[in-house]
Amino acid sequence: MGDAAPKPVKTEAANLASMSHLRPVPDPRPPSKEAARGESAPTIAELERWATVLRIECVRMLAVAKSGHLDSSLSAADIVSALYNRVLCHDPEDPAWRERDRFVLCKGHAAPIQYAALAHHGYFALEDLQGLRKIGKPLQGHPDMNRTPGVEVSTGSLGQGLSMCVGIALALRLDNLQDTAHVFGVLSDGDCQEGQTWEAATAAVHFGVTNLTAIVDYNHLQTDGTTEQVMDIGDMRAKFEAFGWDTVEIDGHDMGQIVEALERSRTLDRPAAIIAQTKKGRGVSFMEGRFGFHGKPPTPEQASDALDELESQLRRQTDALRAGGEDI
Amino acid sequence: MAGKTEATATRAAYGDALLALGEAHEDVVALDADLSVSTQSAKFGDAFPDRFFNVGAAEANMMSMACGMAATGKRPYASTFAIFATGRAYDQIRLGIAHNELPVRVCASHGGVSLGEDGASHQMIEDIALMRVMPKMQVVVPADYNQAYRAVIDSYESDEPMYLRFGRPSTPVVYDEIPDSMGHGVDVLREGKDISLIATGHMVWRALDAAESLESEDGIEAEVVNVSIIKPLHSETVLESLAKTGVAVTAEEHRVVGGLADAVREVAAEQHPVPVFAVGMGDEFGVSGTGEACMEHFGLTARGIADRAREALLLKPIVSHPPLFGPDWT
């Protein structure tokens, strides 16, 4: 932005038209339960490309909704891509499959990123994404288990999600499913400012939960400023370790690290925390790591710029995969 | 089914019935927050340690955990004192349980001022209002051990969120045995034509005592109505009684605002406007003392109900005359 030559401003309708070719995913079905752990699991490059697809969907949704949390969704895109496209065992045709892994978006305000993943896996129609936050439509501002297929439990009030994850994990254990059904919760740094998260962290270890992974999307930005300015939560790795969790710290935008940490986490004999250092607004350069976009939808101009950037990223990723012989 | 005949705390019924539910149903799980001996969920915990989760002093975590368990097919019973259940964990109940319409039972013991010595910090007098105002939440306040036992057993069958309030002190029974069902939750325990005494929880036996003294001292025939399901309120039974007597006194161990009094007044105001007086807590907090002393301090007694009934009856002929305009007064 800024120094670039002025470009024609696209209208909102033009934006949508330019997006309509965005059905670039040949087979929007999840890998099967077997594939997720086998040879046919999506490669790192494919997962990265998926993350770009999800980011594009988020920008489109927010541009239409004119409301929501875009930058919070973008920071979690790589984590969500790795989970839905490779790590989670789930069945969109049977969302209530008892042995499925559970995904809980503790940071419910990042709902668009989960909705994008769910839609691309066929939990509901891709067209439904454009109904985000609209009256009478299923996609609520924050995830709603009774309105949106694939949402395990409603979230949106920070701090409650990890407790819900502990409850789910224990219920699965009572059903003797703890070795197959794993619970993955994605937390924000705001979640970790809430005291309840630490009640849950204590309880998970006390109850000997083994089928739970908490991923902290630590993007260091919140509504009123940086987390360091507003309420510094400091060394999250040390904190979770002190609570008795197996803890690793990764670059939350390095797909290789994300996949490795997630897949390792489901093999442990205690709850696992993955501190993912991320950048808010990742993938959109004018937004990335910058304060002032939380809870603010992109203007049409911003959405246009963001889409240009993400679409060229997608083209690069697609071309690279094709060059490598992938059938994209 | 045979129940208790001697005075027993309603929380004891919770402990006994929860144990019975645990024996009957594999999917029943129980949670408590370091008060399991007081709430009596410990009976379940001793029998089914694998299905019992004591979270320590962490009520918010408990309610959200119960949400997660219910979302995974369990029937959670989460107990603690009423003050912590509804006050500390309101948002957790609201989003995780009520909004999700999950079959979690929020089982609150030590409701009201009759818990006594612990004083204002522990005496919850707003819980009925908080749970009544919450969308989708059922509110159940049993009158004695026998009804409380039935309420807990029946709660298993409901697919909706439910708040159940139990009390600390031993309370005389008003039901001779464990009732066959909760019915619609509004029972006429004593018929009368002069005034309706509409009570809930620990005030029901006091309302019966009040009716007795009104009859023996003043020849007043009071009708006593036990409202054990405050939400959804079976308004027909309440209205029938109001139509018969033309004046009412409500009685609850709770703030008048938002509680049973307001529930009855809402029905009366819309469908049969008659004077509805209230016995309950005003704009004030509780105090320390024995449970019974606390009840007396705030006038939550049979005498308090009878006195209010006499006041109400003074006003009844003044306000019960036919209005000048509008439909015929019935």
Structural domain includes residue A5: no
Q: Identify the band that residue A41 occupies on the pLDDT scale cut at 50, 70 and 90.
A: confident
Asked whether the predicted pLDDT for residue B320 surpasses 60, the reply is no
CATH number at residue A164: 3.40.50.970
pLDDT of residue A7: 44
Query: What ipTM, to 2 d.p.?
Result: 0.94
* Partner B contacted by A164 (CB < 8 A): yes
**What confidence tens digit (pLDDT) does each residue in B84-118 have?**
999 999 999 999 999 999 999 999 999 999 999 99
Helix ranges (H only) for chain A are 12-19, 33-37, 44-65, 70-75, 77-82, 111-120, 161-174, 189-193, 195-206, 227-231, 236-242, 255-265, 300-323
Asked whether the predicted pLDDT for residue B325 surpasses 90, the reply is no
Asked whether the predicted pLDDT for residue A15 surpasses 60, the reply is no
- CA angle, residues A60, A63, A65, in degrees to nearest 5: 105
**What confidence tens digit (pLDDT) does each residue in B138-169 have?**
999 999 999 999 999 999 999 999 999 999 99
List Cβ neighbours of A48 (8 Å cut-off, separation of 6 or more). Answer: A78, A81, A255, A317
**Average pLDDT over all residues of chain B:** 95
Asked whether the predicted pLDDT for residue A218 surpasses 50, the reply is yes
CB atoms inside a 10 Å sphere around CB A59: 30
The larger pLDDT score, comparing residue A41 to residue A109, is at A109
Structural domain includes residue A8: no
pLDDT of residue A295: 83
Structural domain includes residue A312: yes
The larger pLDDT score, comparing residue B330 to residue A204, is at A204
Asked whether the predicted pLDDT for residue A148 surpasses 70, the reply is yes
Closest CB to A146 among B50, B91, B100: B100
Bond preceding residue B161 cis, omega within 30 of 0: no
Interface test with A, best of B54, B65, B94 (most A CBs within 10 A): B65
Q: Give residue A61's identity as a one-letter amino acid code.
A: M
Interface of A with B in 202-231 (CB under 8 A): 202-203, 206-207
Asked whether the predicted pLDDT for residue A37 surpasses 60, the reply is no
Asked whether the predicted pLDDT for residue A26 surpasses 90, the reply is no
Measured between alpha carbons, how far is residue A25 from residues A119, A312, B164 in Å? 12, 15, 51
Q: Identify the band that residue A16 occupies on the pLDDT scale cut at 50, 70 and 90.
A: very low
Q: Which residues pair with B231 in a beta bridge?
A: B139
pLDDT of residue A20: 37
pLDDT of residue A328: 66
CA distance A101 to A95: 10
Contact status, residue A86 vs residue A36, Cβ threshold 8 Å:
yes
pLDDT of residue A116: 97
Asked whether the predicted pLDDT for residue B51 surpasses 70, the reply is yes
* Partner B contacted by A178 (CB < 8 A): no
pLDDT of residue B316: 80
Task: List the domains of chain B with CATH numbers.
Answer: 10-165 (3.40.50.970), 186-319 (3.40.50.920)
Q: Identify the band that residue B319 occupies on the pLDDT scale cut at 50, 70 and 90.
A: low
**What confidence tens digit (pLDDT) does each residue in A49-70 have?**
999 999 999 999 999 999 999 9
Overall domain count for chain A: 1
Is B59 known to be catalytic?
A: yes
pTM for this predicted structure: 0.92
Q: Identify the band that residue A178 occupies on the pLDDT scale cut at 50, 70 and 90.
A: very high
Structural domain includes residue A139: yes
What are the chain A neighbours of B29 within 8 Å (beta carbons)? Answer: 171, 174
Structural domain includes residue A202: yes
Q: If you average pLDDT over residues B67-75, what whole number do you get?
A: 98
DSSP string, B201-263: TTHHHHHHHHHHHHHHHH---EEEEEE-EEES--HHHHHHHHHHHS-EEEEEEEESTTSHHHH
Interface of B with A in 66-125 (CB under 8 A): 66-74, 76, 91-92, 95-96, 99-101
Q: Give residue B154's identity as a one-letter amino acid code.
A: D
Q: How many CB pairs under 8 A join A and B?
A: 105
Structural domain includes residue A328: no
Q: Which domain holds residue A154?
A: 40-323
Asked whether the predicted pLDDT for residue B265 surpasses 60, the reply is yes
pLDDT of residue B315: 81
Structural domain includes residue A54: yes
The two three-digit tokens of residue B141, written as one number: 């306040």
Structural domain includes residue A294: yes
Contact status, residue B75 vs residue B131, Cβ threshold 8 Å:
no
Element (H or E) spanning A248, and its range? strand A246-251
Q: Give residue A103's identity as a one-letter amino acid code.
A: F
Closest CB to A163 among B51, B64, B72: B64
**Mind telling me how many Å the CA of A109 is from chain B's nearest CA?**
14
